[in-house]
Chain A
Amino acid sequence: MRRVLAFFAVVIAVSVAIAIVSVRNINRAVAGSDWVNHTHSVILETEGLRADLFIGDGAAHAFVLTGEPKDRSASVNALSNAAEHVDYIAALTRNEPAQKDGVTRLASLVDRRSDFIRRLLSSRQSNDSNAVHALLVQDSGETVLNDIQHSIEKLKNDELTLLTQRDTAAFIQAQTTRWTVWAGVILDFTLLAGAGLLIRDDIAARKRATDALQTLNYELEDKVKVRTAELAAANDQLKIENIERKWANLGLQHQLHYNQLMINSINDLVLLLTRAANITRVNAAVTRSTGWEPHELADRPFSSFATLTYDGPAPLIDPVTQAMNDGREIRDQHAVVIDKRGQKVAARMTLFPLRDGDKVVGSVIIIQAPGNGTPGGAAVATQT
């Protein structure tokens, strides 16, 4: 971009220079043209002077011979015109010192000749033949006309020489102007062509950059689309997994709820024991029948809550533990339950070993206590 601007700056500078040189040369050409016209005017005036002087002189001699007034009048008019020509020549050459002396001499000669002609016309007008004769004799020896001729020729040649010099100067000036303008134009066009090439290269580079950027944008958009699709798919998958996880939890809660519902709907006391015969869980009937809250019974030995009763001596080994060791049931045995107030309540107890595969991991105890105010009694389960 800077190079292009520099090119245009140079083009403008060259154009301004051409304009300045051209205006100056045109002004010089105009001045030269004025000088040419001036020189032509001087030449024309000298030719006019020569013609009028000879007309005046011829008309005066004719008047001497014929005495016709028209000849006299023509001579007087020609002399008058010749005097005007001399004035014009003097005015046109007033700024030319080289011509000044010549013009002064010419004017003097013209005055002398005009004075002679006027005296001749006057003498013929008064029919003074002697005076006329004397003037004509005197004139035969005079060389004024030749001097005037020479002066006019010299003046004319000088002006032609000046004209030639000024023509040559004008031609050189025109040539200089022509070459200046053409050189400037060629230089400008060359610079413009260079600027055009630079602009073309710059546009091509910008287009390449734009295309590359566009390509990158497209690629980025594609990547964003792909990534967005991946994220959307991952989000959908997470949503599905979340629903599935909630569903699994719900299923377990549902199952647990129903199991709890079933256990708590039994009016017999149900207890779950560990393999060491400690209480881990109880149903709602336990609290209703004995007043014990579940947390008060948790991890307590079952023997502190209920014991089997025997008509004879009690066995040495705890029958509940023994039944779990043996993996056998105890069905409908007499037992005593100790409620929260410490009162012993007669009941009937059943034990089912709690099996996990081929192992006994605890037991379920069901206790029916007629005295607990319900048709059933109590039930308990054990577990390791």
Chain B
Amino acid sequence: MKKHILIVDDEASILELLGAYLTNAGYRVTAVSTAYKAEEVAAKDKPDLVISDLQLENSDGLELIARLKSGLPDTPMILLTGVLFDAKFVHENLAKKVSCYIEKTSPLSRILGEVQRLLAS
């Protein structure tokens, strides 16, 4: 049974590339562009892992992750963003909210490595 990964990003190119890469790695991927659709998918088809962009249309990734966590408390959540935070900020503010923080400039292999690590644990 393939693991189900939900990707949320308002950029179609991000959804396309990341979705293709993770699908090729053997995962079942659902890609959506809004927080509303993400919650809808999570309710119908529980994901094993969520990857969300920080900046979303009419919302943001941290807010979405907080809402999703109420229904999926054990599901790993990865925050993916183009906004660069320093390590101290990440450690103090994001560590409790998300399972992992990854910059969009990170190579896909690193994202895949994090996905595999979180799903394995």
Binding site for B on A (CB under 8 A): 236, 239-240, 243-244, 246-248, 250-252, 254-255, 257-258
B82, A236: Cβ atoms under 8 Å?
A: no
Q: A236-B24, A258-B82 are in contact. Are A246 and B104 (CB under 8 A)?
A: no
A254, B21: Cβ atoms under 8 Å?
A: no
- Give complex CA distance A236, B25 in Å: 10
B108, A247: Cβ atoms under 8 Å?
A: yes
7 A-B pairs (CB sep. < 8 Å): A243-B24, A246-B17, A247-B21, A250-B104, A251-B104, A251-B105, A254-B82
**Chain B residues near A244 (CB, 8 Å)?**
21, 107-109
- Give complex CA distance A258, B11 in Å: 14
**Chain A residues near B13 (CB, 8 Å)?**
246, 250
- Give complex CA distance A254, B21 in Å: 19
**Chain A residues near B17 (CB, 8 Å)?**
243, 246-247, 250
B82, A243: Cβ atoms under 8 Å?
A: no
Q: Would you give the shortest CB distance from B72 to chain A, in whole angstroms?
A: 26
**Chain B residues near A239 (CB, 8 Å)?**
20, 24
Tell me whether chain A's interface is mostly helix, strand or loop, or mixed: helix
B119 within 8 A of A: no
- Give complex CA distance A255, B82 in Å: 6
Of all chain B residues, the one with the shortest Cβ separation from A257 is B82
Q: Would you give the shortest CB distance from A234 to chain B, in whole angstroms?
A: 14
Q: Would you give the shortest CB distance from A109 to chain B, in whole angstroms?
A: 132
Q: Would you give the shortest CB distance from B31 to chain A, in whole angstroms?
A: 14
- Name the one of B18, B20, B104, B108 contacting A254, with C-beta atoms under 8 angstroms: B104
B21, A243: Cβ atoms under 8 Å?
A: yes
Interface bits B5-19 vs A (CB < 8 Å: 1, else 0): 000000101100110
- Give complex CA distance A236, B21 in Å: 11
Q: A250-B13, A254-B82 are in contact. Are A240 and B105 (CB under 8 A)?
A: no
A247, B107: Cβ atoms under 8 Å?
A: yes
B83 within 8 A of A: yes
**Chain B residues near A254 (CB, 8 Å)?**
11, 82, 104-105
B104, A243: Cβ atoms under 8 Å?
A: no
- Give complex CA distance A70, B80 in Å: 155
Of all chain A residues, the one with the shortest Cβ separation from B111 is A247
B24, A258: Cβ atoms under 8 Å?
A: no
Q: Would you give the shortest CB distance from B71 to chain A, in whole angstroms?
A: 30
Q: Would you give the shortest CB distance from B116 to chain A, in whole angstroms?
A: 15
Q: A255-B105, A258-B83 are in contact. Are A250 and B20 (CB under 8 A)?
A: no
A251, B106: Cβ atoms under 8 Å?
A: yes
- Give complex CA distance A243, B103 in Å: 17
**Chain A residues near B103 (CB, 8 Å)?**
251
A240, B21: Cβ atoms under 8 Å?
A: yes
- Give complex CA distance A258, B105 in Å: 12
**Chain A residues near B14 (CB, 8 Å)?**
250
- Give complex CA distance A244, B108 in Å: 6
Q: Would you give the shortest CB distance from A288 to chain B, in whole angstroms?
A: 25
- Give complex CA distance A239, B84 in Å: 28
Q: A243-B20, A243-B24 are in contact. List 12 more A-B contacts (CB 8 A).
A: A239-B20, A244-B108, A246-B13, A250-B13, A251-B82, A251-B103, A251-B104, A251-B106, A252-B105, A254-B82, A255-B104, A258-B83
Q: Would you give the shortest CB distance from A246 to chain B, in whole angstroms?
A: 6
Q: A247-B17, A247-B18, A250-B14 are in contact. Are A240 and B24 (CB under 8 A)?
A: yes
**Chain B residues near A255 (CB, 8 Å)?**
82, 84, 104-105
- Give residues 9-65 of B contacting A (CB, 8 Å): 11, 13-14, 17-18, 20-21, 24
